[in-house]
Chain A
């Protein structure tokens, strides 16, 4: 569920820190568990 929620506010149009603080805090805790190699830019590189 964190997949679509973690994208930046300028993409999603949702400032979760302001509108959904509990979700934002949860995402922060989930991100802390994710190693750098698990971030979308590494998992799903921008080019072939």
Chain B
């Protein structure tokens, strides 16, 4: 009697099956299928083709992606007055140049083909810590703040999620991808930005930094096993690329 010698997930990586061409790729694809043992004697064997229904689904998916890209490119080329006429949302980003969180939103908007009005804010001068700022702009006393058609949105992570949903870009498509995206977003906000950005601020932008406090943040950030996590994240993206479902920059 045999026990379990393998599972279905092992098959695509079975070196012996691939080298012996038991598994072969579909025509014009990287997806593998079982090589047919039947061929016409004297004729050259043709590559395996996918079922018509699957090909149609692939073509439809490709066409939708091309259409979306085309729309994005058109939107980016459109003059400002056309954009206004088409009732596109107008964005104002309250930022300061050294803010990585501001950069996250600026980059997201730019990659989505949007433009925005940058509203420079004197963070170093303490503007965001004034009662007026809390009353008029953000009761949390923080920056960045993104104004969308006059509505003020705060907290970078939910704004990124909202933009991803709105533009259909850079978001998870399946429940598993959504979970993975949230997992990294929370980790970034809590562990990476929470410690590393605070250390950078204390170290570089504070006139008389409290060195002991800064060093505590630095040590906390250094303890995280960042490399394996990043390698895992990149592997996830690579997997999705293999499946032709998701690319970082599309």
Contact = CB atoms under 8 A, between A and B. Distances in A.
Interface string A19-42: 111110010001001100110110
Contact of A45 (B99, B120, B230, B231): B120
Given A37-B110, A38-B111, A44-B118, A20 B227 contact: yes
B120 A4 contact: no
B32 to A, nearest CB: 27
B150 to A, nearest CB: 20
A4 B107 contact: no
A40 B120 contact: no
Contacts of A7: 100, 200
A35 B147 CA distance: 25
B120 to A, nearest CB: 4
Contacts of B188: 1
A38 B200 contact: no
Interface stretch (B44-52, B58-66, B189-197): B189-197
**Chain A interface residue count: which class?**
20 to 34
Secondary structure at the B interface, as helix, strand, loop or mixed, is helix
B129 interface: no
B226 interface: yes
Contacts of B101: 3
Nearest to B217: A13
B102 A44 contact: yes
Contacts of B95: 44
Given A20-B227, A22-B227, A40-B103, A14 B118 contact: no
Contacts of A14: 196, 221-222
A33 B249 contact: yes
A22 B231 contact: yes
A40 to B, nearest CB: 5
B31 interface: no
B106 A4 contact: no
A8 to B, nearest CB: 10
A43 B104 CA distance: 10
Given A4-B193, A30-B248, A33-B248, A45 B97 contact: yes
A3 B104 contact: yes
Contact of A1 (B99, B110, B192): B192
30 contacts: A1-B188, A1-B233, A3-B100, A3-B101, A3-B107, A3-B193, A10-B204, A12-B196, A12-B203, A12-B204, A14-B196, A14-B221, A20-B226, A20-B227, A21-B227, A22-B230, A23-B227, A30-B248, A38-B110, A38-B111, A41-B97, A43-B106, A43-B107, A43-B110, A44-B96, A44-B99, A44-B106, A47-B97, A48-B118, A48-B119
